[in-house]
Amino acid sequence: MREIHITEKEQGQRTDKFLMKYMSLAPKSFIYKMLRKKNIKLNSKKAQGGELLKAGDILCLYLSDDTIEGFRETRSVKRASEDIDIIYEDENVIFCAKPQGLIVHPDNRHKEDTLNDRLIYYLYKKGEYDPEASLGFTPSVCNRLDLNTSGIVTMGKNLPAVQQLNRAFKQRLADKYYLALLKGEMKEGGTVRGYHIKDDNNVAHLVADSDNGSPICTHYRPLECGGGFTLAEIKLETGKSHQIRLCMSEIGFPIAGDRKYGDSAVNRRFLSDFGITDQLLHSHRLILRLKDGVLNYLDGREFTAPLPQAFTNVCSYFFEKTY
């Protein structure tokens, strides 16, 4: 028999979901069979599986240690770069500024030294995360940015924080503002609405009507104009892949440096004159609206990620105001 004491880091999740993480190699059918056979108890009573765990709860697994360990995955922390630009940190969250060229989570081409790896390694070095003592929970990044988009990325250090941040982004309780350098001088702001679809080449398209696409909404307004370019602030209502890059291109103001949706002549100029190789798009501000929950103290707080130096240099060239 094994006794598991639930802490604040694990609370707020269903019993069955916790067990699937704790014994991550076990088939779901095994977990539910053990629940049915009363081999798992919660606070000395038969566990049903749908209970929400609370700090202080005790789960008892009436299984042999060999069985439990056979279903336990060996957890370790990948060594990663310690180069992290932290904007804000407390006992529940980390908000950091992601640079261009750093992937948030691994993909087919980028498997090592991701931003998520760096943040987990940072917490491990601080002694705030121990993979062997975490009972299956791993701190997690809660929003993503494209590989070559810079700016604010959030991480939850415990399960309640991860759940609330994920819910905030899903339910549009997080106002996300971007800065983008656009080709052309934009005179007034507006909104782009439509449906987002992707083709087999990972290129997004904006269509007026679609049975298969996802609705998107992008607000924009010019901040500075000069020399044939505009610095614009863009607010996302939805968050689909390449959404800002696609929308700005569709209305005739492509983002400078954008190799997929941009203007090739502009991109060549920016490479030659400024050494810019990718889109000048930066997740600049984040405002959270969290009236309750573990993160309610962040309600109304605004977090800002300063522009990268290369972006600032370009703005200084075209505009009087420095951002």
Q: Report how far Cα 175 is from the mean position of its chain's Cα atoms.
A: 14
Amino acid letter, residue 293: G
DSSP state for residue 127 in the 8-state scheme: T
CB-count burial class (<10 Å; 0-12, 13-18, 19+) for 119 = buried
Amino acid letter, residue 189: G
Q: Which of 162, 10, 156, 11 is nearest to 93 (CA)?
A: 156
For position 211, what pLDDT does the model report? Answer: 77
For position 323, what pLDDT does the model report? Answer: 64
Give the β-pairing of 229-236 and 214-226: antiparallel
Report residues of the chain scoring pLDDT below 70.
111, 322-323
For position 222, what pLDDT does the model report? Answer: 97
For position 69, what pLDDT does the model report? Answer: 87
For position 285, what pLDDT does the model report? Answer: 96
Structure tokens at 45: 């009573």
Neighbouring CB atoms inside 10 A of 76's CB total 9
Domains defined along the chain, listed by start? 2-70 (3.10.290.10), 85-170 (3.30.2350.10), 174-318 (3.30.2350.10)
For position 322, what pLDDT does the model report? Answer: 64
For position 165, what pLDDT does the model report? Answer: 96
Longest dimension (CA), the chain: 73
Structure tokens at 96: 């950091």
